[in-house]
Amino acid sequence: MVKIDLNNLPQHIAIIMDGNGRWAKQHTIGRIRGHKKGAQAVKTTVRACREIGVKYLTLFAFSIENWKRPEEEVQALMSLLEEYLTKETKQLKKQGIKLTTIGELDRLNPAVKEQLLQAKADTSKNVEMILNLALSYGGRDEIIHAVKKIVRDNKKNKVDINEINNDMFKRYLYTCGMPDPDLLIRTSGEYRISNFLLWQIAYTELYFTNVLWPDFTKDHLFKAIASYQKRERRFGLTSEQLKRQNHSKSLLNIKNKRH
Ligand code: FPP
Protein backbone atom coordinates (compact mmCIF):
# COMPACT_ATOMS: atom_id res chain seq x y z
CA MET A 1 0.00 0.00 0.00
CA VAL A 2 1.27 3.50 -0.88
CA LYS A 3 2.17 5.59 2.21
CA ILE A 4 0.29 8.83 2.80
CA ASP A 5 0.61 11.51 5.47
CA LEU A 6 -2.62 11.50 7.47
CA ASN A 7 -1.81 14.98 8.81
CA ASN A 8 -1.80 16.49 5.33
CA LEU A 9 -4.91 15.07 3.70
CA PRO A 10 -6.89 16.93 1.06
CA GLN A 11 -9.94 18.15 2.95
CA HIS A 12 -12.10 17.87 -0.17
CA ILE A 13 -11.60 15.31 -2.94
CA ALA A 14 -13.66 15.46 -6.14
CA ILE A 15 -13.73 12.57 -8.61
CA ILE A 16 -14.72 12.28 -12.27
CA MET A 17 -15.49 8.56 -12.35
CA ASP A 18 -14.80 7.70 -15.97
CA GLY A 19 -14.27 4.49 -17.92
CA ASN A 20 -17.18 2.22 -16.98
CA GLY A 21 -18.05 1.68 -20.65
CA ARG A 22 -14.47 0.89 -21.69
CA TRP A 23 -14.08 -1.46 -18.72
CA ALA A 24 -17.19 -3.33 -19.90
CA LYS A 25 -15.84 -3.49 -23.44
CA GLN A 26 -12.52 -4.89 -22.16
CA HIS A 27 -14.47 -7.62 -20.38
CA THR A 28 -16.76 -8.17 -23.39
CA ILE A 29 -19.87 -7.43 -21.38
CA GLY A 30 -22.57 -4.75 -21.72
CA ARG A 31 -22.02 -1.12 -20.61
CA ILE A 32 -24.60 -1.44 -17.85
CA ARG A 33 -22.54 -4.14 -16.15
CA GLY A 34 -19.62 -1.72 -16.31
CA HIS A 35 -21.68 0.86 -14.40
CA LYS A 36 -22.63 -1.84 -11.88
CA LYS A 37 -18.96 -2.56 -11.20
CA GLY A 38 -18.45 1.22 -11.04
CA ALA A 39 -21.04 1.43 -8.25
CA GLN A 40 -18.92 -1.04 -6.24
CA ALA A 41 -15.89 1.21 -6.68
CA VAL A 42 -18.04 4.05 -5.30
CA LYS A 43 -18.65 2.05 -2.11
CA THR A 44 -14.95 1.20 -1.70
CA THR A 45 -13.87 4.81 -2.26
CA VAL A 46 -16.45 6.27 0.15
CA ARG A 47 -15.34 3.84 2.85
CA ALA A 48 -11.65 4.50 2.28
CA CYS A 49 -12.14 8.27 2.46
CA ARG A 50 -14.15 7.95 5.67
CA GLU A 51 -11.54 5.63 7.19
CA ILE A 52 -8.61 8.00 6.66
CA GLY A 53 -10.50 11.18 7.55
CA VAL A 54 -11.23 12.98 4.27
CA LYS A 55 -13.98 15.47 5.14
CA TYR A 56 -15.67 16.04 1.74
CA LEU A 57 -15.97 13.70 -1.22
CA THR A 58 -17.77 14.93 -4.35
CA LEU A 59 -18.52 12.31 -7.00
CA PHE A 60 -19.61 13.11 -10.56
CA ALA A 61 -22.34 10.47 -10.76
CA PHE A 62 -24.51 11.85 -13.58
CA SER A 63 -23.91 14.90 -15.76
CA ILE A 64 -26.48 17.10 -17.48
CA GLU A 65 -25.05 15.77 -20.76
CA ASN A 66 -25.62 12.16 -19.61
CA TRP A 67 -29.39 12.64 -20.21
CA LYS A 68 -28.57 12.37 -23.92
CA ARG A 69 -27.36 8.75 -23.53
CA PRO A 70 -29.60 5.89 -24.73
CA GLU A 71 -32.78 5.66 -22.63
CA GLU A 72 -31.87 2.16 -21.45
CA GLU A 73 -28.52 3.35 -20.07
CA VAL A 74 -30.06 6.38 -18.33
CA GLN A 75 -32.63 4.08 -16.70
CA ALA A 76 -29.92 1.66 -15.60
CA LEU A 77 -27.89 4.50 -14.02
CA MET A 78 -30.99 5.71 -12.15
CA SER A 79 -31.72 2.16 -10.93
CA LEU A 80 -28.13 1.84 -9.72
CA LEU A 81 -28.50 5.06 -7.79
CA GLU A 82 -31.74 3.77 -6.22
CA GLU A 83 -30.07 0.48 -5.35
CA TYR A 84 -27.10 2.31 -3.85
CA LEU A 85 -29.38 4.45 -1.68
CA THR A 86 -31.46 1.46 -0.56
CA LYS A 87 -28.43 -0.60 0.41
CA GLU A 88 -26.04 2.08 1.64
CA THR A 89 -28.07 4.70 3.54
CA LYS A 90 -27.89 2.56 6.67
CA GLN A 91 -24.11 2.28 6.28
CA LEU A 92 -23.77 6.02 5.70
CA LYS A 93 -25.72 6.63 8.91
CA LYS A 94 -23.59 4.18 10.83
CA GLN A 95 -20.35 5.71 9.56
CA GLY A 96 -21.46 9.27 10.35
CA ILE A 97 -21.56 10.30 6.68
CA LYS A 98 -23.92 13.05 5.58
CA LEU A 99 -25.29 12.77 2.04
CA THR A 100 -25.67 15.95 0.01
CA THR A 101 -26.27 16.59 -3.69
CA ILE A 102 -25.50 19.21 -6.31
CA GLY A 103 -27.31 19.52 -9.63
CA GLU A 104 -30.82 19.77 -11.00
CA LEU A 105 -32.62 17.19 -8.88
CA ASP A 106 -35.98 18.26 -10.37
CA ARG A 107 -35.04 16.51 -13.60
CA LEU A 108 -34.80 13.15 -11.81
CA ASN A 109 -37.71 10.77 -11.77
CA PRO A 110 -39.97 11.68 -8.76
CA ALA A 111 -39.41 8.31 -7.04
CA VAL A 112 -35.60 8.61 -7.23
CA LYS A 113 -35.79 12.23 -6.11
CA GLU A 114 -37.98 11.25 -3.15
CA GLN A 115 -35.55 8.52 -2.14
CA LEU A 116 -32.64 10.94 -2.37
CA LEU A 117 -34.40 13.54 -0.23
CA GLN A 118 -35.15 10.83 2.33
CA ALA A 119 -31.53 9.63 2.41
CA LYS A 120 -30.39 13.25 2.77
CA ALA A 121 -32.81 13.82 5.65
CA ASP A 122 -31.83 10.53 7.33
CA THR A 123 -28.14 11.46 7.31
CA SER A 124 -28.46 15.22 7.82
CA LYS A 125 -27.15 15.19 11.41
CA ASN A 126 -23.93 13.34 10.51
CA VAL A 127 -20.67 15.25 10.81
CA GLU A 128 -17.79 12.85 10.14
CA MET A 129 -17.78 13.23 6.37
CA ILE A 130 -19.88 14.72 3.55
CA LEU A 131 -20.61 12.52 0.54
CA ASN A 132 -21.71 14.96 -2.14
CA LEU A 133 -23.23 13.41 -5.27
CA ALA A 134 -23.29 15.49 -8.45
CA LEU A 135 -26.49 14.43 -10.19
CA SER A 136 -27.88 15.99 -13.35
CA TYR A 137 -25.00 18.40 -12.80
CA GLY A 138 -23.25 20.79 -15.17
CA GLY A 139 -20.73 23.43 -14.10
CA ARG A 140 -21.88 26.07 -16.59
CA ASP A 141 -25.52 25.53 -15.63
CA GLU A 142 -24.56 25.94 -11.98
CA ILE A 143 -22.95 29.32 -12.72
CA ILE A 144 -25.96 30.50 -14.75
CA HIS A 145 -28.27 29.32 -11.95
CA ALA A 146 -26.24 31.42 -9.47
CA VAL A 147 -26.32 34.51 -11.73
CA LYS A 148 -30.11 34.27 -12.11
CA LYS A 149 -30.53 34.00 -8.35
CA ILE A 150 -28.33 37.05 -7.76
CA VAL A 151 -30.30 39.08 -10.33
CA ARG A 152 -33.57 38.05 -8.64
CA ASP A 153 -32.20 39.02 -5.23
CA ASN A 154 -30.96 42.31 -6.66
CA LYS A 155 -34.48 43.09 -7.95
CA LYS A 156 -35.83 42.39 -4.48
CA ASN A 157 -33.19 44.78 -3.07
CA LYS A 158 -31.58 41.94 -1.13
CA VAL A 159 -28.27 42.31 -2.96
CA ASP A 160 -26.42 45.40 -4.12
CA ILE A 161 -24.21 45.12 -7.24
CA ASN A 162 -21.26 46.46 -5.23
CA GLU A 163 -21.53 43.49 -2.89
CA ILE A 164 -20.82 40.97 -5.67
CA ASN A 165 -17.39 39.45 -5.15
CA ASN A 166 -15.83 35.96 -5.09
CA ASP A 167 -16.95 35.09 -1.56
CA MET A 168 -20.48 36.29 -2.16
CA PHE A 169 -20.77 34.50 -5.54
CA LYS A 170 -19.59 31.25 -3.96
CA ARG A 171 -22.57 31.31 -1.63
CA TYR A 172 -24.94 31.25 -4.63
CA LEU A 173 -23.44 28.03 -6.03
CA TYR A 174 -24.84 24.54 -5.32
CA THR A 175 -21.71 23.92 -3.22
CA CYS A 176 -22.55 26.78 -0.82
CA GLY A 177 -20.89 26.13 2.54
CA MET A 178 -18.38 23.61 1.17
CA PRO A 179 -14.67 24.28 0.77
CA ASP A 180 -13.35 24.11 -2.80
CA PRO A 181 -11.85 20.73 -3.76
CA ASP A 182 -8.15 20.40 -2.90
CA LEU A 183 -7.72 17.42 -5.21
CA LEU A 184 -9.61 16.44 -8.37
CA ILE A 185 -9.10 12.91 -9.68
CA ARG A 186 -10.15 11.77 -13.16
CA THR A 187 -9.88 8.13 -14.10
CA SER A 188 -9.61 6.43 -17.53
CA GLY A 189 -6.79 8.43 -19.10
CA GLU A 190 -8.88 11.38 -20.30
CA TYR A 191 -7.43 14.83 -19.64
CA ARG A 192 -10.61 16.88 -19.45
CA ILE A 193 -12.74 18.63 -16.85
CA SER A 194 -16.02 17.93 -18.69
CA ASN A 195 -18.02 20.76 -17.14
CA PHE A 196 -17.37 19.64 -13.56
CA LEU A 197 -17.13 22.21 -10.72
CA LEU A 198 -15.82 24.91 -13.07
CA TRP A 199 -15.85 27.73 -10.52
CA GLN A 200 -14.66 25.64 -7.59
CA ILE A 201 -11.51 24.10 -9.13
CA ALA A 202 -9.66 27.37 -9.76
CA TYR A 203 -6.81 26.31 -7.42
CA THR A 204 -7.48 22.57 -7.19
CA GLU A 205 -4.64 20.09 -7.78
CA LEU A 206 -5.49 17.84 -10.74
CA TYR A 207 -4.63 14.14 -10.87
CA PHE A 208 -5.22 11.97 -13.94
CA THR A 209 -4.83 8.21 -13.99
CA ASN A 210 -5.24 5.60 -16.73
CA VAL A 211 -7.08 3.26 -14.35
CA LEU A 212 -10.69 2.71 -15.44
CA TRP A 213 -13.19 3.65 -12.72
CA PRO A 214 -14.44 0.06 -12.02
CA ASP A 215 -10.81 -0.93 -11.30
CA PHE A 216 -10.20 2.01 -8.93
CA THR A 217 -9.13 0.76 -5.49
CA LYS A 218 -8.05 2.16 -2.13
CA ASP A 219 -4.45 1.86 -3.32
CA HIS A 220 -5.19 4.03 -6.37
CA LEU A 221 -6.81 6.58 -4.08
CA PHE A 222 -3.72 6.58 -1.88
CA LYS A 223 -1.50 7.07 -4.95
CA ALA A 224 -3.51 10.15 -5.90
CA ILE A 225 -3.28 11.52 -2.35
CA ALA A 226 0.48 10.82 -2.21
CA SER A 227 0.91 12.77 -5.47
CA TYR A 228 -1.13 15.65 -4.02
CA GLN A 229 1.05 15.65 -0.91
CA LYS A 230 4.21 16.16 -2.98
CA ARG A 231 2.91 19.35 -4.56
CA GLU A 232 3.49 22.91 -3.46
CA ARG A 233 0.21 24.83 -3.52
CA ARG A 234 1.19 28.44 -4.04
CA PHE A 235 -2.17 30.09 -4.81
CA GLY A 236 -0.37 32.65 -6.97
CA LEU A 237 2.37 33.43 -4.42
CA THR A 238 6.09 32.77 -4.82
CA SER A 239 7.70 29.77 -3.15
CA GLU A 240 9.56 32.11 -0.73
CA GLN A 241 6.39 33.96 0.26
CA LEU A 242 4.69 30.65 0.90
CA LYS A 243 7.53 29.43 3.13
CA ARG A 244 7.42 32.68 5.16
CA GLN A 245 3.64 32.34 5.47
CA ASN A 246 3.89 28.74 6.70
CA HIS A 247 6.66 29.70 9.11
CA SER A 248 4.50 32.50 10.63
CA LYS A 249 1.56 30.09 10.85
CA SER A 250 3.58 27.48 12.75
CA LEU A 251 4.96 30.14 15.14
CA LEU A 252 1.40 31.28 15.78
CA ASN A 253 0.33 27.67 16.43
CA ILE A 254 3.14 27.18 18.97
CA LYS A 255 2.19 30.48 20.67
CA ASN A 256 -1.51 29.51 20.81
CA LYS A 257 -0.67 26.08 22.25
CA ARG A 258 1.38 27.69 25.05
CA HIS A 259 -1.52 29.95 26.12
C1 FPP B 1 -18.55 7.32 -16.85
O2 FPP B 1 -18.29 6.14 -17.53
C3 FPP B 1 -19.43 7.15 -15.71
C4 FPP B 1 -20.71 7.60 -15.64
C5 FPP B 1 -21.36 8.29 -16.75
C6 FPP B 1 -21.55 7.45 -14.46
C7 FPP B 1 -20.90 7.13 -13.15
C8 FPP B 1 -21.75 6.15 -12.46
C9 FPP B 1 -21.33 5.19 -11.61
C10 FPP B 1 -19.94 5.08 -11.18
C11 FPP B 1 -22.23 4.13 -11.07
C12 FPP B 1 -23.35 4.56 -10.20
C13 FPP B 1 -23.08 5.65 -9.24
C14 FPP B 1 -23.55 5.70 -7.95
C15 FPP B 1 -23.33 6.93 -7.15
C16 FPP B 1 -24.23 4.58 -7.31
P17 FPP B 1 -18.57 6.08 -19.08
O18 FPP B 1 -19.86 5.36 -19.28
O19 FPP B 1 -18.54 7.45 -19.67
O20 FPP B 1 -17.37 5.24 -19.57
P21 FPP B 1 -16.70 5.27 -21.02
O22 FPP B 1 -16.16 6.65 -21.21
O23 FPP B 1 -15.61 4.24 -20.91
O24 FPP B 1 -17.75 4.89 -22.01
Q: In this structure, what DSSP letter does residue 201 have?
A: T
Q: Give this prediction's pTM.
A: 0.94
Average pLDDT over residues 105-118: 96
pLDDT band at 58 (very low <50, low <70, confident <90, very high): very high
Q: Please give the distance, rounded to the nearest whole angstrom, from the Cα atom of residue 77 to the centre of ligand 1.
A: 8
pLDDT band at 257 (very low <50, low <70, confident <90, very high): low
CB 232 within 8 A of CB 242: yes
Chain segment 118-168, per-residue pLDDT in tens? 999 999 999 999 999 999 999 999 999 999 999 999 999 999 999 999 999
Kindly give, in sequence order, each residue whose CB lies less than 8 Å from that of residue 103, ignoring residues fewer than 6 positions away: 62, 64, 134, 135, 136, 137, 138, 142, 174
Average pLDDT over residues 9-33: 98
With a 6 A CB cut-off, is 135 part of the ligand 1 pocket?
no
With a 6 A CB cut-off, is 81 part of the ligand 1 pocket?
yes
pLDDT band at 11 (very low <50, low <70, confident <90, very high): very high
Residue 126 main-chain phi, psi, to 5 deg? -70, 145
pLDDT score at 251: 75
Mean of all residue pLDDT scores within the chain: 95
Of the listed 5, 7, 66, 126, which one is catalytic? Answer: 66
pLDDT at 259 over 70: no
pLDDT score at 250: 73
Q: Please list, residue by residue across 68-101, b when 16 or more beta carbons sit within 10 angstroms of its beta carbon and e when fewer do.
A: ebeeeeeebbbebbeebbeebbeebbebebbbbb
Of the listed 7, 8, 18, 246, which one is catalytic? Answer: 18
Give the residue, by CA position, lying nearest to ligand 1 atom 6: 61
Residue 122 is a catalytic residue: no
Q: In this structure, what DSSP letter does residue 128 have?
A: S
With a 6 A CB cut-off, is 15 part of the ligand 1 pocket?
no
CB 149 within 8 A of CB 116: no
- Kindly list the domain boundaries of the chain, sorted by start residue: 12-138+179-258
pLDDT band at 16 (very low <50, low <70, confident <90, very high): very high
CA–CA separation, 224 and 229 (whole Å):
9
Q: Please give the distance, rounded to the nearest whole angstrom, from the Cα atom of residue 38 to the centre of ligand 1.
A: 6
Host H or E run for residue 91: helix 71-94
CA–CA separation, 200 and 134 (whole Å):
13
With a 6 A CB cut-off, is 38 part of the ligand 1 pocket?
yes
- CATH architecture entry for 12-138+179-258: 3-Layer(aba) Sandwich (3.40)
Kindly give, in sequence order, each residue whose CB lies less than 8 Å from that of residue 113, ignoring residues fewer than 6 positions away: 105, 106
Residue 154 is a catalytic residue: no
